[in-house]
């Protein structure tokens, strides 16, 4: 519980630094689209943010050791999920960070609705998958 609170606080602080420092919303799907769809004028901050994000990994490993990453190894599942996440975050203008943290933090109705929607669909997907697995 304390790790989650502290981690969330760090995420909030990071988003606050980005907003108050350079006036940008810390949404990762936006960063991805800026970087890889080559959006002009948005690339430089996204690139520095991306480099910083990657740099956090060795820093964390140095102090706390390698983090646990448990994930399915089903390639089809990984590809389908990746495509859906890529499409959905692009179409819906945001993900857990842009809508879930920054959007709700500024009391945006759009973001509150988006977050509710992706949470519900995430919960239903896990429910359906677990039910199917239990049935096999």
Partner 1 sequence: MNKLMKMITPLLAGVIFGLGLLVSGMTNPEKVRGFLDLFGNWQPALMAVMASAIVIFSIAYGLSNKMKQPLFHSIFHRPSLTQLDARLLGGAALFGIGWGMVGLCPGPALLNIMTGQEDILLFIFALLLGNRIAHYTVGPAK
**Near partner 1 in 104-133, by CB under 8 A:** 104-110, 113-115, 117-127, 129-130
Least Å distance, CB 136 to partner 1, is 16
Residue closer to partner 1 (CB basis): 67 or 135: 67
Least Å distance, CB 61 to partner 1, is 8
| Token pair belonging to 6 | 């502290």
Query: Hey, which bits of 9-133 come out as E strands?
Result: none
Q: In 10 A of CB 118, how many CB atoms?
A: 19
38 in contact with partner 1 (CB under 8 A)? no
Least Å distance, CB 27 to partner 1, is 9
91 in contact with partner 1 (CB under 8 A)? yes
Phi, psi of 65 (to 5 degrees): 85, 170
Residue 25's nearest CA partner among 89, 87, 84, 93 is 93
Residue closer to partner 1 (CB basis): 4 or 135: 4
12 in contact with partner 1 (CB under 8 A)? yes
20 in contact with partner 1 (CB under 8 A)? yes
Dihedral angle computed from the Cα positions of residues 124, 101, 89 and 111, in that order, rounded to the nearest 10 degrees: 80
């Amino acid at each position: 519980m304390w790790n989650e609170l502290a981690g969330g606080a760090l995420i909030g602080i990071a988003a606050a630094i980005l907003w108050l420092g350079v006036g940008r919303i810390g949404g990762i799907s936006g960063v991805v689209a800026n970087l890889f769809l080559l959006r002009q004028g948005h690339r430089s901050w996204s690139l520095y943010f991306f480099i910083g994000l990657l740099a956090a990994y060795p820093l964390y490993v140095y102090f706390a050791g390698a983090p646990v990453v448990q994930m399915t190894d089903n390639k089809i599942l990984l590809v389908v999920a990746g495509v859906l996440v890529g499409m959905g975050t692009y179409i819906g203008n945001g993900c857990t960070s842009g809508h879930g943290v920054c959007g709700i933090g500024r009391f945006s109705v759009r973001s509150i609705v988006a977050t509710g929607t992706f949470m519900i669909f995430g919960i239903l997907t896990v429910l359906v998958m677990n039910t199917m697995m239990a049935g096999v």
